[in-house]
Structure 1
Amino acid sequence: MGHAQRTGTTRHRSALLPPRTGTAARRAPASSPRPPHPRPRTTRRRRALLSALLTAAIVTPLAGAARPQIPAPPPAILTAPLTPSTLPSAYEANRKNATEAARTAAVHGDAHRAAADRALAAPSRRLLAFDGRGTGQATEVLGDLTHAEHIAVLVPGSDTTLDTYARFHRAAAALYTHLTHRTGPTHGPAHGPAPRVAVIAWLGYETPATVSTTVTTTTRADEAAPRLRAFVRRLRTLAPAGTHLSLLCHSYGSVVCGRAATGLDADDIALVGSPGTGADSAAALHTRARVWAARGSDDWVADVPHVRAGLFGTTVGFGTDPVSTAFGARVFDAADADHSGYFTPGSASLANLARITLDHPREVTRG
């Protein structure tokens, strides 16, 4: 689940998720009497809605066709193992690969992808990984990774591809700007210089389409989880010992983080706009990390049923709502953020995500 409800295009037209208005099901007229036991009826209605939506999505032919595969060269082959000293050459190799991918996309007649690749190939960009084939993947570093005292890894949700990467980059850039220009009790002459930070935009998996059956299961997350664990292990070898590392997981990206949590060497995991993690509780994630969760009041994901159910031989839905008391996460304030608004400059959610990144849990405002 990602941004497609707000901007961008979707690959399919099946009505799988509720519209952005947040209306999950047709409500009774205002004049209708309230049922005597609203909670059980609401639960049954949500379960019925989930089954109906998923059934429709699975058995109804999809009208839209997937976007044709975009040709691109294979990823760059690094001539030396990735270490702090070889990072500059790795950045350069991946930029050159993105440049070649831009040329290939242009020849193919895809001006939009060519422009996206060209932007990533700019001299100012630091690409830890790049693959321009298909929907594409990229891992970008903002800041000095080899000297960072605090690292935030952003894990995106559905419909995040190279074609929509610019908005993912804007989220990472907004956090990095906030961190490097932050003022408060831990900054200023009396407290020494501002801490050294790095923000990483990790598009390291094939995200599902927002309007698809794939987005309702953990399949893509299960494929991504070992990649995320391996990436975090690699980060630990590139960053200084003792660096504080946080995962900031948006929408379906929170499912990825939930599936990767066991054995993940992270200090904090923050779930924002989450449909669930596939686990019944924060404790069931089996992680040493502090688990945080937030959802803005204007986020339509609140109307997605927080259940798991068997359907056609697979499990759909992601279980307990991460901002519920039953889940047991540390719930923080996201004010009126909508599903795409958690990294908006000046927002309560961005400020709290920065505090989590900087390991200031007492400064985080609770939801």
Structure 2
Amino acid sequence: MRWVRRTAAALTVLSAAGSTVAATGASGPYAAPAPVPALSAATLDARFAAAARDIAAARTTAVRTGDEDRARALAAFLSPGRRFLAFDPRGDGRAVEVFGDLRGADRIAVVVPGADNALANFDSVKFAGGGARALYRRMAAEAPSARVAVVAWLGYRAPATLGPGVLSADRAESGARRLAEFLGGLARVNGDARIALLCHSYGSVVCAAAAPGLGGVPVDDIALFGSPGTTAGGVADLRTSATVWAGRSSGDWVRFVPHVRFAGLGFGTDPVSPGFGAVRFDAGTGPHSGYLKPGSAALRNLALIALGHDSEVPRA
């Protein structure tokens, strides 16, 4: 109990210190996105077009206000062939990008990122968009004839690593509601596809919070990697029929995070611990930000999970 109290006290201090960092962030003069129709097969193209208009408007604002990092990122978003289902430039921003054909896919992977994800770094392989692109290419390489799609889902307000939000599940719970709504729409776009949720770091907290409410969505696999914990005591608490996977690379600093939950801080049981009950997969030796890096063991094994090739996934 003494160790638990000390850990909780340390988390509280970090939370207070982080609030100073968070307070320095500015949302900028960006307008709210235009209303869009609910996601379905019939509205897919309208959603793509609406997001493109909002991205163009936000880029104009970024250029006008001298927000150079945002302007560069949004210019790349407008490159030919890129398609976004949702976009919101306010704050650090939200974006949902699609790789592949959602309507025709047999397997759809949804990448749910963790802390520090923002529009300005979206295309880095360390973050949502760049990692999802690398996953899509790896899935195509592993199964050239398979019909696959990948979604980079930065559809929630990701906390900052040095901010207070990263120490509690508050943002994960609000993100989980958004994720469940999105997955319901994805099922309306393509009711035949099987879905895999690939959830990194704080994103694993989001996925775990969403899992109990996904009974009507065809989610076959939930992979938790680089996870600090999920607030769940084990797989049974997720109340899902999906296969739950857990992996952590040997170079990931998250292994040093205390697996406690006290006074609303921390995330509890380690998903890679035997008691959690997940299927442990080999996540390689890379750093916390390297799971979706091209050429990594973690990327290959996550691609196999997303493809439904369970028997080919090396266990840890």
1:102 maps to 2:52: no
Counterpart residue number, 1:224: 175
Counterpart residue number, 1:197: 148
1:211-230: per-residue Cα shift (whole Å, max 9, x none)?
12221111101111111111
Amino acid at match of 1:194: S
CA contact (8 A) 1:70 1:135 kept: no
DSSP-derived class of the 1:334 partner: coil
From 46, 50, 59, give the equivalent of 1:93: 50
1:136-180: per-residue Cα shift (whole Å, max 9, x none)?
111000000000000000001011111221222110111000111
CA contact (8 A) 2:15 2:167 kept: no
For these two proteins, the number of residue pairs brought into alignment is 309
| Separation of aligned partners in 1, 2:134 and 2:39 | 27
DSSP-derived class of the 1:56 partner: helix
Counterpart residue number, 1:172: 132
Counterpart residue number, 1:77: 35
Matches of residues 290-329 of structure 1 in structure 2 within 5 Å? 290-310=243-263, 315-329=264-278
Counterpart residue number, 1:157: 114
DSSP-derived class of the 1:105 partner: helix
Amino acid at match of 1:67: G
| Separation of aligned partners in 2, 1:350 and 1:49 | 36
Counterpart residue number, 2:212: 262
Matches of residues 178-193 of structure 1 in structure 2 within 5 Å? 178-182=138-142
Q: Structure 1 235/243 Cα, relative in aligned 2: closer, same or farther at 3 Å?
A: same
From 206, 223, 228, give the equivalent of 1:275: 228
CA contact (8 A) 2:40 2:185 kept: no
Q: Post-superposition shift, 1:48?
A: 5.0
Instruction: Tell me the percent identity.
Output: 47
| Separation of aligned partners in 2, 1:58 and 1:100 | 35
Q: Structure 1 56/75 Cα, relative in aligned 2: closer, same or farther at 3 Å?
A: same
| Separation of aligned partners in 1, 2:18 and 2:90 | 27
Q: Structure 1 59/276 Cα, relative in aligned 2: closer, same or farther at 3 Å?
A: closer
TM-score (norm 2): 0.93
1:250 maps to 2:223: no
From 129, 140, 164, give the equivalent of 2:86: 129
Structure having the larger proportion of residues in helix: 2
Counterpart residue number, 1:237: 188
1:349 maps to 2:292: no
Amino acid at match of 2:226: G
Structure 1 residue ranges without an equivalent (≥5): 1-42, 188-192
> Over aligned residue pairs, what C-alpha RMSD do you find?
1.8
Matches of residues 138-153 of structure 1 in structure 2 within 5 Å? 138-153=95-110
Counterpart residue number, 2:26: 68
TM-score (norm 1): 0.80
Matches of residues 108-123 of structure 1 in structure 2 within 5 Å? 108-123=65-80
| Separation of aligned partners in 2, 1:285 and 1:225 | 12
CA contact (8 A) 2:39 2:186 kept: no
CA contact (8 A) 2:38 2:185 kept: no
Amino acid at match of 1:208: P
CA contact (8 A) 2:16 2:164 kept: no
Q: Post-superposition shift, 1:309?
A: 1.2
Amino acid at match of 1:350: L
Q: Post-superposition shift, 1:302?
A: 0.2
DSSP-derived class of the 2:130 partner: helix
CA contact (8 A) 1:96 1:121 kept: no
| Separation of aligned partners in 2, 1:148 and 1:289 | 19
CA contact (8 A) 1:261 1:286 kept: yes
CA contact (8 A) 1:54 1:213 kept: no
Q: Post-superposition shift, 1:346?
A: 1.7
Q: Which moved more, 1:51-60 or 1:159-168?
A: 51-60
Which protein shows a greater Rg? Answer: 1
Counterpart residue number, 1:33: none
DSSP-derived class of the 2:123 partner: helix
Q: Structure 1 60/246 Cα, relative in aligned 2: closer, same or farther at 3 Å?
A: closer
